[in-house]
A and B are shown apart, each in its own frame.
Chain A
Amino acid sequence: MDTLIQQVINGLSLGSVYALIAVGYSLVYSILLFSNFAHGGFLVIGGYICYYTLAAMGHNIWLSGLLAMVGAGVVAILVEKLAYKPIRERTNVTLYLLIASMGMSIVIENIFVVTVGGRFRALPPVIPTDPVNFFGLATTSAFDILSLGMAVLFLTGLQLFLSKTKWGLAIRAASYDLRTSGLMGVNVNRLISIVFFVAGLLAAVGGIFLSVRYTLYPQLGFITIKAFVAAVIGGLGSLPGAVLGSLILGLAEMLTAGFISSQMRDLVVFGMLVLTLLWRPSGLLGKQVSEKV
């Protein structure tokens, strides 16, 4: 019983970090309708900015975290301006954006391989990881509780941004039809920049928590594949779906690790993806896309 509760908390915590990544990825998808594989790069950038600013400016996680978020957000905007904008302005073939984003993810990963090397780095102990007794039911780590709490905080923030601000409303409108919102006088390029900034920012938060969990290395971005899978399970382009898919995935992974075998967890993840898509091809909460003829 102890293990069960513990694994459930672990699973929710891991799932909530996936959610931070998946939501940003899904947000970009809902606007531009392509799968941004460079999203994992934003997470790695956030992680490294945090690592180096912690070392340089004293162990102030709040400041470093803020810098990481802004830095990853800015890089996300740059990636969009450099690589995606010229493509989307010329054609509507989203396959080209997909391939460019794959290239971008390789570039970001290997910039770090070339400059700082491929070794694993542990963040200084700025986030508490002490064991915490959870209402006398189970023992878990403070880190798990903290990452769950932060994820809830940021996801609520995103929800408020999307529902209460002018740009948030514009983003939600654009997710129905980008071209029409352009016609309605929305500055589409600025809107896309904001979307990428938000996506990069959320990825950085996820990146910091993942660096604490797994240590930091250039290929850490690979973990985003799980967030992508979560977003697909939940339904591409649907933000509640991304959160739901992430939590399911986090739980499935931790329960598999706890009760079956740690080696099976990735297999379970991909198995769930295939099963979900067989059962509901557009994901749990995805809208059925029908093309205008």
Chain B
Amino acid sequence: MSGYVEGIIILLFINGIAAMGVSLLTGFTGVFTLGHAGYMAIGAYTAAIMTVRYGIHWLPAILAGGIIAMVIAYCIGVPTLRLMGDYYAIASIGLGESIRLILENWQSFTRGARGYPGIDNYTNLPVAATFFVIMAVLMFFLIRSNFGRAFKACRDDYVAASLLGFNTARYRVLSLSISAFYCGVAGALMAGFLTFIQPVMFDLNKSTELTAVVVFGGLGSLSGSLIGTAVITLVTELFRPISQYRMLIYGAVMVIIMVVRPEGIMGQHELGPRFIRSLFNRKDRSPRTAEGGGGR
């Protein structure tokens, strides 16, 4: 396998892990975020600093990247996730940008805006694939459990959810923490893949991309998010020669999907026998007018 193809596959795995995190939060819990690149940044810098400065082995460094992102998300989430809807969306931009600004300005520790070079190339194909498979299995299991149903209830109707006995705030914070862990691990793997990281890699554009991928794939479909990641990552590579059109197409597709098929590529379905059957028998699709008032 050529290095180029291998690189793309590793990138697919890394982006897939981050997308699963955002999918849990936005797709399954209904919390719209525009700041998750910040958690990737935390994971990336944690792993970079731990391996380069302190000479720690990459495996604990990657896990630490995820855990530190998760702890920070928890601390941020407890107060801010009391906010509903758009308040949190705006706050998440602020949080994501703040993380980036802190990394840029904390020169002595992060080496600032010029970036952090010399990271070991620890993310090879087997490492990325192993992380991806384990984390995907855990996530698929999680959404098919009592927690998955609780998240979806908070998404579809948080008032009804609390009237079924769910502590909706707690589930939102939990969902945010898990999604930050996934993004943190993805960031840490990214650091070991690129061997050089810079705060600007984790700006608002990256956050938007993370959320866009989940929207493309279908809010509430984990496999959809992964398909969305694959499509976007590959299209990004294909369009590299005309990269100035890339973002334009990106934005247009985002609008068109919302207008034409807001449920995304997969709707809420998961790729599996039941989805394939539903392709042939579309009668059981719920009418659009009956969609819940989960937006507020």
Direct contact of A and B (CB under 8 A): yes
B105 contacts A277, CB within 8 Å? no
Contact status B254-A100, CB under 8 Å: yes
Task: Say if the beta carbon of A257 comes within 8 Å of chain B.
Answer: no
Residues of A within 8 A of B244 (CB): 110, 113-114
In the complex the two chains form, is A92's CB within 8 Å of B295's CB? yes
Chain A residues whose C-beta falls within 8 Å of the C-beta of B94 in the assembled complex? 225, 229, 269-270, 273-274
Which B residues lie within 8 Å of A109 (CB)?
247, 251
Interchain CA distance A287-B97 in the complex, whole Å:
27
Nearest Cβ on chain A to B15's Cβ, whole angstroms: 18
Contact B252 A281 (CB under 8 A): no
Of chain A, the residue at the smallest CB distance from B96 is: A270
- What does DSSP make chain A's interface, helix, strand, loop or mixed? helix
0 or 1 for each of B235-253: is its CB under 8 Å from A? (1 = yes): 0000000001101101111
A232→B87 contact, CB < 8 A? yes
Query: Is the CB–CB distance between A103 and B253 below 8 Å?
Result: yes
**Whole-angstrom distance from the CB of A250 to the nearest CB of chain B?**
16
Set of chain B residues within 8 Å of A83, measured between Cβ atoms? 255, 258-259
A86-B258 Cα distance, complex, nearest whole Å = 9
CB closest residue in chain A, given B294: A93
B6 interfacial contact with A, CB 8 Å: no
Partner of A264 from the list B82, B105, B212, B245 (CB cut-off 8 Å) is B105
Residues 279-296 of B at the A interface (beta carbon under 8 Å): 288-289, 291-296
Interface of B is mostly: helix
| Beta-carbon contact of A267 and B98 below 8 Å | yes
The complex places the Cα of A92 from the Cα of B156 at a distance, in Å, of: 12
Return chain A residues, CB-CB under 8 Å to B219. 95
B86 pairs with A110, CB closer than 8 A: no
* Residue interface mask B76-101, A partner, CB < 8 A = 1: 00011011111101110111011001
CA distance A228 to B90 in the complex (A): 7
For the complex, is B262 an interface residue (Cβ under 8 Å from A)?
Answer: yes
Tell me, rounded to whole Å, the shortest Cβ–Cβ distance linking A24 to chain B: 15
Among B83, B86, B97, contact of A98 (Cβ-Cβ < 8 Å)? B86
A104–B255 CB distance below 8 A: yes
> Could you say which residues of chain B place their CB within 8 Å of the CB of A97?
258, 295
Contact call A111/B248, Cβ cutoff below 8 A? yes
Q: How far is the CB of A152 from chain B (nearest CB, A)?
A: 26
B233 CB within 8 Å of chain A? no
- B157 CB to closest chain A CB (Å) equals 10
- The chain A residue sitting closest to B88, CB to CB, is A277
Nearest residue, chain A, Cβ from B97: A270
A291 — which chain B residues lie within 8 A by C-beta?
159, 296
A82-102: CB near B (< 8 Å → 1, else 0) gives 110011001111111111101
0/1 interface trace, chain B 51-90, chain A, CB 8 Å (1 if under): 0000000000000000000000000000110111111011
Interface of chain A residues 114 through 153 with chain B (CB within 8 A):
114
Given known contacts A113-B248, A267-B105, A91 and B296 CB-to-CB distance under 8 angstroms? no
A33 and B247 contact, Cβ closer than 8 Å, known pairs A87-B258, A100-B255, A103-B258: no
| Other-chain contact of B251, A103, A236, A274 (Cβ < 8 Å) | A103
Given contacts A91-B288, A277-B83, contact A113 B259 (CB under 8 A): no
Nearest CB on A from B122, distance (A): 32
A63, CB-defined interface residue at 8 Å: no
Expressed in whole angstroms, the Cα–Cα distance for A265 and B129 within the complex equals: 41
Q: Is the CB of A232 within 8 A of B258?
A: no
Say if the beta carbon of B173 comes within 8 Å of chain A.
Answer: no
Given A86-B259, A92-B295, A104-B251, answer yes or no on A271-B98 (Cβ-Cβ < 8 Å): yes
Are B259 and A92 neighbours in the complex by a CB distance under 8 Å?
no
B251's nearest neighbour on chain A, judged by CB, is A106
B228 contacts A by Cβ under 8 Å: no
What 3 A-B pairs have minimum CB-CB distances, sorted nearest first?
A103-B254, A106-B251, A94-B295
20 extra A-B contacts, CB within 8 A, seeds A33-B296, A98-B295, A102-B254: A82-B259, A83-B255, A86-B259, A87-B258, A93-B292, A93-B293, A94-B296, A95-B85, A95-B219, A95-B294, A98-B89, A100-B258, A103-B252, A113-B244, A225-B97, A225-B204, A229-B90, A270-B95, A274-B94, A281-B82
Query: Which residues on B are within 8 Å of A, measured CB to CB?
Result: 30, 32, 34, 79-80, 82-87, 89-91, 93-95, 97-98, 101-102, 104-105, 159, 163, 204, 208, 211-212, 215, 219, 244-245, 247-248, 250-255, 258-259, 262, 288-289, 291-296
What are 26 A-B interface contacts by the 8 Å CB criterion? A82-B255, A91-B289, A93-B292, A95-B30, A95-B219, A99-B211, A99-B212, A99-B258, A102-B208, A102-B251, A103-B255, A106-B208, A106-B248, A106-B250, A110-B248, A114-B245, A225-B94, A225-B97, A228-B93, A236-B87, A267-B102, A267-B105, A270-B94, A273-B91, A278-B79, A282-B87
